[in-house]
Every structure is written in structure tokens, then in C-alpha cells.
Structure 1
Amino acid sequence: MELYSTSTKLSKNKYSVEIKASLLWESALGIAALTNDSLIETLDISRKNRELIDHSLSKVMKEHLEYVRKNNTWKTLLQILHQKDFDQLSSFVEYVTKMSSKELRDIAIPYLGKEYLHLKNELLEGSERALHELQKITINHPFLSSYLEFIKGVSVEELKNHLIEVMSGWFESIISPEKDRLETILLKDKASKEKMLNRLEPEEFIEWATDGVKYSPESDVNKVILIPQYIYRPWNVEADLEDVKVYYYAVANESISDEKFVPNKQLVQRYKALGDETRLKILKMIKGGHLSLQELTNELKLGKTTVHHHLKILKSARLISQISTNNYEINQRAMEFLPIDLSLYLDSD
């Protein structure tokens, strides 16, 4: 899976891993995904289904999505959802309604690291200097600089009304009609991940659950939260909270299927890739040292096009990776996961 980073923290520690699932996360991430113009064409959701979503939305809801597109208020929605475990939409609406102006702004401003908390606190007091300093710090972030300015200046009542209406509108129009199916997908994936949680080391588990994210422990992170999502597939979305790293990860293919005994697509792809004598030779050769396409071609005495085809299959299965223009290396972690993934599939209900 690909990683779309909305991480805002600028900084090795033992940490716990927790898995959460909720239709409210799915709702907020749907709003984020369908207003992300730079990624929308890369989503698994087809153009036809995006058009169906668009037709199901009211004029007012479309105006709210334009507001999201302009101001990135999907980030505010996600920040709020991390404040407590909301069990239903009404509890989210009640929470937002009761928040004070300072509470809402405090929650809306994402965590940048402990070294910048004083600037955040100054910003909450209305400091223009703090805003400018934080904008300098986040100048290379795709949206955070303008988002901070928006949060500082927006009317809290306007923001509250928007958050409630866009979340409620999306939930009622998009989530509710498929509530049972979506909830089944999310909970099925959560359950499958929980079965593996104590069978792997934390970094191994995160890489396995997210299908490729390599997380390096950070000194100020005490917990990693994994949240399954369907709408943003194939992307994993990364974010930071104080003391917490979050991955909204793409649910596995087998969690989506209604059929029994459906294996993980990556599991099938990897074993298919291994079921060829030439590709096994290539893996053996690459394991002995980084080799180029030309070196592999010379050793195998095959055409360059043929070898390139085999390399493409191995890369697609993530059994090897390209470390430079020509050189390849074996993905040792993926090889180690093979028997684990097979065992999980065979032992699943």
C-alpha cells in the first residue's frame, strides 16, 4: 500500500499498538479523500462510483465540501475524533456543540512537536508572531501553513456549524445507506489484525498491517494507533498527535469480499511470483548482493526484456525493490512475512 503522509511532527522508544475502528473515521476520511484533488484519481474507488457519490449529495453538502477543499477542515474532523471514542454521530455532534472557542482551536491545531508547544499556546492567545513562526516552520508542508491561518481567524460558530453539517451530511448520504457492509468490512479487518498483534514485534506488525509502512520508533511516541479505512484505499494516511502516531490504513482485500476463504491478494501475488524457476534464481542472485538488470541478464543468459519482465513481477509482489536506477535488492521482511501470512490465512475462520 502507498503512504499519504499528513504527518506534522518535526522531531527510540518503547510503545504500545492499538487498533480502533469506527464508521465516524470512515466518514471523516471519505470527506478527506474526495476533496483531495491531487490523489483522487489514484484511489481504488472508480470514477463511476465517485459520480454516484456526487449525485447523492445535496447542493448545501457540495458547498461544504468546497469549504473542506479550500480550508482542509477534514483535518479538524480527524483531530476531534481522537478526543474520545465516539460511538455514534449524535455523540460527535453533541461534543462539537459544547466545545468552547479555545477548546476547538486547541484541538484543531495539530501537534508539531514538544519544542513548538509554546508557539501553539501563543497562537491560541491570538499571537500573529506565533502564527508567522509556525508558518515558517511548516512552509514545506502541503497545507498546514494556510490551515493554521484559517484556524486562527475563522469564526468558531461558523466552523462548528460547518463541521457538524459536513460530517452529518456525509454520514447520512454516504455511510448510512451502506452502514452494515462498511461496518462489517472495518470490523472484519480489525479482528484479523488483532489476531496478529501479539505474534509480531511492533515494527513488524505495523509494516505487516499497513502492507509496507516502515515505522521507526520515535523518542516522544508512546502509542501507535492503527485505524482501518476503506474509502482511501490504496493509501495509508499518516498523522501525529501528542505522544501518538496514527496510521489510517487501507483494509485488506479479503476484508472486503463476501466470499469465504478469500486469501489476501498480496499473499497470492507473492506465491505466484515465487512459482517460477527463473524468478527464484533471480531472488537467490539478488540475495547474494545488489545486482543490476545487465548483470542479471548476463548471468541468466536471457534477453533483457525477459529478465525485466520477471523483475517487474517480483517488484509488484514487493519481494524485491529497486535501490537505484539499475540495482535491485531483496525485501527480506516480505520474505519473512510469507509463512506468517500463510499461517494466518489457513488458521482464519
Structure 2
Amino acid sequence: MDVLHMTSRKRETYEVRIESSLLWESALGIAAITNTRLIDTLEKPKASWDKLKKSLSKSLIRELDYVEKNNTWKSLLLLLHQRGFGSLQEFITFLDDLEDEEIKYLCIPYIGLKFQELRMLASKGDVPSRNRLKDQTDDNPYYPGYIEFICTTNVHKLKTHLMGVMSRWYEEVILPEKETLSAILTRDRQSKVEMSKKLSPEALVEWATGGITYLPEPAVHTVLLIPQSIYRPWNVEGDIEGVKVFYYPVANESIYPDDKDMPSYFLVQKHKALGDEARLRMVKFLKGSERTLQEITNELGMGKSTVHHHLKILRSARLVETLDGKYRLKENAVQSLSNELKHYLTKE
């Protein structure tokens, strides 16, 4: 049935905020070094992580073991979102002043507006509410256990641990590289702020994250972009009330500012992907519609293995994605390409 549109209201989208801080870098570093399943996939070689571990104090190693067991890196990230902390000491003072129920509430993950009452009751010790929250998050590999831990742990011990691990990591890992890290994060944040003047919010998020398509959600009014270097090449996603968070990997040019001509990794990959007649035909064929592998094969008159190879290149460049077995063009990525190139060419 055809629909007659009588409204002139534009589709709502979110606003984008961009923040950077060494405190985020600290919390994510604590998360990275204790994520044994993921550490082999990080840009920093495992040998470097092993070397770092050997240099850490015994007291910090004990705290990191506690993080690995109980996933308290999540607590640090959630608590850091409560206000804009200008220094480590401000964060430590904030933690120390929190009441027992308040810190438990803040450390329980936000999973949606309709579950806020359960979150509050669980922080007050209500077992049925706690169990319902665990049931609602059973598709997450660690949330149920983490919720159980937060709701039942000794708050004084939790506070002491969070203050200890954050302070020691900052002092032993961040401070020796403070100037370098701060400059990298500041440069990257500034480049994203400059690009935000040229791109739509959705295109900006896709560009900053290297290809994540995040469409507006009814309860999300803001996307918060936070640059990080420690978790490269991964994006880390988070949710707080009304806000979607992407801790995104800083760009190459932010790390190597003296090489003024160094292009973005994905800028290069996108142009390489488009520099082929067959792949350009695929991009045009996918514009505005989703297609199966068989449909693309039929359209181009090529073998499935050849088509699959070309699609793999387009996907690795974050120009094409799959959904329910079908391929579709990431149109924001294509539309923002000229701005990305212009940004690179005019960069001083």
C-alpha cells in the first residue's frame, strides 16, 4: 500500500559529543590487559603485554587479577561517566564519597529505561530484582556474573580495589607516557571535531569508528565518541542512560603527527577497494537495495568464488556489510569518502 506523507518533520537523529581523557585510557588499559581471550588480537603484540606485566608492581598485579576475576573494569568505565573528571584525584575523591547503595547502582550496567527500577532495587539488595536483571542479560558472556558480584560484594573492599587499581595503573603505566598519550588523544579528538563540521552525525560515527553504522534509537539522544590507543584496532561499545558510547581507536595520523602525509588506514583501503571495475559495478548494484550472493553473481556474470573475493575486499574496507545473509552498501561510508579525502589533502 502506498503511503501519503503529510508531515514535513525530518527524521530525528542524535547529537555527537567527542571527549578525551587519560582516565579513559587508564580504564581501557586495565580492561585490555585482563582480557585474556582478546589480548592476542590487539595491535600491541602479546610479547609487549607480557613485558609490561613483568614491570608492574606486585600490588598492581594482585589488583589486575581481581579485575580479571570480577570484570571490575566495567565499574571503572561506568563510574567515569558520572562527571567530567579533570584529574585522577578528582575521580578518587568521588569514589571515596559514594554511599554503598549509590556505588552499587552506578556499577550495575544500564540495560534500558524499563529496567531502571530493577537496577535500583537490585542495588538495595532485592534478590528477585537482581535475578531478573541477570536473566535479561544472559546473552552477554559476563554480565550475569558481574551483576551478581556487584550486588553481593563488600562495598568497602570494592572501593579500595577500584581506587587502588586505577591509581596504580595511572602511576605505573600512564604517567611515564603521559605527554605522548595526551598529545595523541588530543590530536585525534580535534580531527574528529573538525570533521564533525562536514559530516552528518551518523556519517561522523561511521568515519570515526572505521565503519560502524549506528542508526538513531528512540531512547538514545547522544553518541559519545572517546578516542583510545590502548585497544587498537578494536572499538569498545558502551551504554549509559540516553547515551551510546564508542571508545574508538585513534587514527594513524594522530600517532605519527610528524609524518604529515600519512593517510588514514581506511581511506587507503576504501580507495583500493573502489579501484576495480567489478567492485565498482557491485557498489552500484548494491546501492539502495540488499542482495544475496547469488543475485550479485547473476548480475555480474562471474563465478561465486570471484564475487565472494571482491565482496570480502569491499567488506574489509567497511564499504559493504552483511545482514541476514544479504549484502548491502554502507552508503554513509561512500558519501563521506570525498570529505575524508579533502580532509587528508588539506591537512597541514
Counterparts of 1:55-94 in structure 2, within 5 Å, are 55-94=54-93
What TM-score do you get using the length of structure 2 for normalisation? 0.88
Q: Quick one: distance in 2 between partners of 1:34 and 1:99?
A: 27
- Measured after TM superposition, the shift of residue 320 of structure 1 is 3.2
Which residue does the alignment assign to 1:292? Answer: 293
Counterparts of 1:24-103 in structure 2, within 5 Å, are 24-103=23-102
AA at the equivalent of 1:241: I
Which residue does the alignment assign to 1:4? Answer: none
What TM-score do you get using the length of structure 1 for normalisation? 0.87
Report the more deviating stretch, 310-319 or 28-37.
Answer: 310-319
**Conservation of the 8 A alpha-carbon contact between 2:26 and 2:170:** yes
Q: Quick one: distance in 1 between partners of 2:133 and 2:324?
A: 36
**Conservation of the 8 A alpha-carbon contact between 1:230 and 1:250:** yes
Q: Quick one: distance in 1 between partners of 2:273 and 2:14?
A: 35
2:124 aligned with 1:137, yes or no? no
Deviation digits for residues 293-329 of structure 1 (CA, Å, limit 9, x no counterpart):
796499566x76665544433332233345576x644
**Conservation of the 8 A alpha-carbon contact between 1:228 and 1:249:** yes
- Measured after TM superposition, the shift of residue 68 of structure 1 is 0.6
**Conservation of the 8 A alpha-carbon contact between 2:203 and 2:333:** no
**CA RMSD, 1 decimal:** 2.4
Q: Give the direction of change, closer, same or farther, for the CA distance of 1:310–1:297 in structure 2 (3 Å limit).
A: farther
**Conservation of the 8 A alpha-carbon contact between 2:322 and 2:328:** yes
Q: Quick one: distance in 1 between partners of 2:78 and 2:288?
A: 47
Q: Quick one: distance in 2 between partners of 1:288 and 1:154?
A: 52
Which residue does the alignment assign to 2:262? Answer: 262
- Measured after TM superposition, the shift of residue 281 of structure 1 is 4.4
Which residue does the alignment assign to 2:4? Answer: none
- Measured after TM superposition, the shift of residue 15 of structure 1 is 3.2
Deviation digits for residues 71-113 of structure 1 (CA, Å, limit 9, x no counterpart):
1111111111111111111211122122221221121122222
**Conservation of the 8 A alpha-carbon contact between 1:239 and 1:247:** yes
Q: Quick one: distance in 2 between partners of 1:111 and 1:310?
A: 40
Report the more deviating stretch, 72-81 or 311-320.
Answer: 311-320
Which residue does the alignment assign to 2:165? Answer: 166
Q: Quick one: distance in 1 between partners of 2:308 and 2:97?
A: 60
Q: Quick one: distance in 1 between partners of 2:112 and 2:171?
A: 36
Counterparts of 1:97-246 in structure 2, within 5 Å, are 97-246=96-245
- Measured after TM superposition, the shift of residue 287 of structure 1 is 4.9
Which residue does the alignment assign to 1:331? Answer: 330
Q: Give the direction of change, closer, same or farther, for the CA distance of 1:274–1:98 in structure 2 (3 Å limit).
A: same
Q: Quick one: distance in 2 between partners of 1:33 and 1:294?
A: 41
Deviation digits for residues 260-289 of structure 1 (CA, Å, limit 9, x no counterpart):
221111111222233334443454455597
Number of equivalences: 336
Report the more deviating stretch, 267-276 or 56-65.
Answer: 267-276
- Measured after TM superposition, the shift of residue 13 of structure 1 is 5.3
AA at the equivalent of 2:237: E
Q: Give the direction of change, closer, same or farther, for the CA distance of 1:91–1:275 in structure 2 (3 Å limit).
A: same
Q: Quick one: distance in 2 between partners of 1:15 and 1:318?
A: 22
Q: Give the direction of change, closer, same or farther, for the CA distance of 1:201–1:304 in structure 2 (3 Å limit).
A: closer
Which residue does the alignment assign to 1:6? Answer: none
Q: Quick one: distance in 1 between partners of 2:288 and 2:196?
A: 32
Which residue does the alignment assign to 2:7? Answer: none
2:274 aligned with 1:274, yes or no? yes
Which residue does the alignment assign to 1:22? Answer: 21
AA at the equivalent of 2:261: F
Q: Give the direction of change, closer, same or farther, for the CA distance of 1:337–1:77 in structure 2 (3 Å limit).
A: same
- Measured after TM superposition, the shift of residue 163 of structure 1 is 0.5
**Conservation of the 8 A alpha-carbon contact between 2:102 and 2:123:** no
Higher relative contact order structure (alpha carbons within 8 Å, sequence separation ≥ 6): 1
Unaligned runs of 5+ in 2: 1-10
Q: Give the direction of change, closer, same or farther, for the CA distance of 1:319–1:244 in structure 2 (3 Å limit).
A: closer
Report the more deviating stretch, 214-223 or 177-186.
Answer: 214-223
AA at the equivalent of 1:315: R
Unaligned runs of 5+ in 1: 1-11
Q: Quick one: distance in 1 between partners of 2:243 and 2:187?
A: 24
**Conservation of the 8 A alpha-carbon contact between 2:237 and 2:245:** yes
Q: Secondary structure at the match of 1:235?
A: coil
Q: Quick one: distance in 2 between partners of 1:215 and 1:291?
A: 22
Deviation digits for residues 134-181 of structure 1 (CA, Å, limit 9, x no counterpart):
222222222121112111211111111101111111111111111111
**Conservation of the 8 A alpha-carbon contact between 1:297 and 1:304:** no
Q: Secondary structure at the match of 1:142?
A: coil
Q: Quick one: distance in 1 between partners of 2:69 and 2:270?
A: 41
AA at the equivalent of 1:181: T
Q: Quick one: distance in 2 between partners of 1:38 and 1:218?
A: 31
**Conservation of the 8 A alpha-carbon contact between 1:210 and 1:249:** yes
Identical residues among aligned pairs (%): 45
**Conservation of the 8 A alpha-carbon contact between 1:20 and 1:225:** yes
**Conservation of the 8 A alpha-carbon contact between 2:288 and 2:329:** no
